[in-house]
Amino acid sequence: MVEQNRPVEILLVEDNPGDERLTREALKEGKVYSNLYWVKDGVEAMQFLRREGRYQDVARPDIVLLDLNLPKKDGREVLEEIKTDEDLKRIPVVVLTTSKAEEDVLRTYNLHANCYVTKPVDLEKFIVVVRSIDRFWLTVVTLPPNGN
Site for another protein, rule CB under 8 A: 16, 18-19, 22, 25, 98-102, 104, 119-124, 126
Decide if 3 contacts 33 (C-beta within 8 A).
no
Work out how close the CB of 24 gets to another protein at its nearest, in angstroms, rounded to a whole number. Answer: 11
CA angle 115, 123, 5 (to 5 degrees): 55
Kindly tell me which of 25 and 52 has the beta carbon lying closer to another protein.
25
**Distance in angstroms between the alpha carbons of the first and the last residue of the chain:** 23
Kindly tell me which of 9 and 20 has the beta carbon lying closer to another protein.
20
Kindly tell me which of 6 and 21 has the beta carbon lying closer to another protein.
21
What residue spans of the chain are helical by DSSP H?
A: 17-28, 42-49, 75-83, 100-108, 123-140
Work out how close the CB of 20 gets to another protein at its nearest, in angstroms, rounded to a whole number. Answer: 12
